[in-house]
Amino acid sequence: MATAPATPPCSTDPARAASRLLRAAVALALGTWLAGAAAHTPDLPAPALTQPAPLTPAGALAPNAVTRPTPGSAAAPVPAQRVQLRGDATTPALTAYWFLPREGATARALPVVVALHGCGGLLSARAARETTPGGEASAMLQQRYREYAQWLTERGYAVLMPDSFSARGRPQAICTEPNDTRGIDDRTRRADALAALRWVADQPGIDTARIVLLGWSNGAQAVLATVDASRPWPAGTPQVERAVAFYPGCKRAVQQHSFRLRAPMLLMIGGADDWTPATRCAMLQSAVLARQPGARFRLEIYPGAYHGFDGTSELHMRRDVPAAARKVQGVTVGGDAVARVAALAQLDSWLASPDP
């Protein structure tokens, strides 16, 4: 079979030149279309975000995203130490999980985040069922809390996550119990938060002037209760320097006409939240600022986002949650990619600011 003669590199044949240009244009268009199609294919996980340098608001990493290792490093999760918080006559000794930045990450005294879990508990469903000791302690925790611990320690924070439920025989959840009849209420969880703050103050190498109290949902309600300046502050308990609340129920705080803040507050909630409505938190902000004109109370409402927007689960209806003031039984929960990234950027900025 005869072989066609090769076209000289600098051929001036107009037909051949036009053919080459056409093939190149088609290849370029096809490649661009495939890249765009891949980027918009539904039901694929979001691409991993490269971990930013500590305290860089523009590069905040969303929790529950997969972390890509930096060149030459391993993306191993930060380990946790299981510790015991001392109890008293009204509060049992609690198990907590203590995370420290990797060795050599910082030479200064460490700021601390005390993080309070939601009504679903701190432990994963499997860990809550199994009591066999051993293994990496952080593997006991739900994915959300493990990855927040990673996110925070990479920014130079020590992190303490107390488990308010296991010691009271409720390792998994209280979400299905009516708010007004829960045995573990805001007063109980405030006592746990204060015990965690006292434990932190006894640890070496900790900057007790830089303690952040952070919580999600039911834990965020505990944050509100803890930093309520109308309640007495126990002697020997370090102060909270700033507080962060993800989608708390603000109803009780709104109804408490003496509620005031003893620390700057960042409250983030979804505009479509039908479990803990944003309108009540907006009412709380207005009431606090009327009582305390100089209070620092930042409220971020993310339009269209639901309860748990900083996670990655698909939106779904929970019908096992008491209706409370809602006309329809059930609530909507699930992640919102846009709100998640925006909230993490806001949290990063809030933590980095010397004057929130």
pLDDT single digits (tens) 198-225? 999 999 999 999 999 999 999 999 999 9
User: What is the structure's pLDDT at 130?
Assistant: 59
Domains of the chain: 52-64+76-352 (3.40.50.1820)
Nearest CA to 268 out of 333, 345, 343 is that of 343
Q: From the CB of residue 333, how many other CB atoms can be counted at a distance below 10 Å?
A: 25
pLDDT in tens, 114-140: 999 999 999 987 765 555 455 578 888
Considering only residues 87 and 38, tell me which one the structure prediction assigns the higher pLDDT: 87
Print burial letters for 174-196: b (CB count within 10 Å at least 16), e (below 16).
bbeeebeebebbbebbbbbbbbb
The gap from C-alpha 48 to its chain's centroid, in whole angstroms, comes to 17
In angstroms, what CA-CA distances link 33 with 22, 48, 204, 346? 16, 22, 57, 34
Across-strand partners of 84? 95
Could you give the residue ranges of the DSSP H alpha helices within 268-336?
Answer: 278-291
pLDDT in tens, 264-299: 999 999 999 999 999 999 999 999 999 999 999 999
Print burial letters for 63-99: b (CB count within 10 Å at least 16), e (below 16).
bbbebeeeeeeeeeebbbeeeebeeeeebbebbbbbb
pTM score, whole prediction = 0.78
Whole-angstrom Cα distance, residue 127 to residue 254?
A: 36
Nearest CA to 189 out of 211, 160, 212, 220 is that of 220
In angstroms, what CA-CA distances link 99 with 125, 210, 270, 355? 21, 16, 29, 26
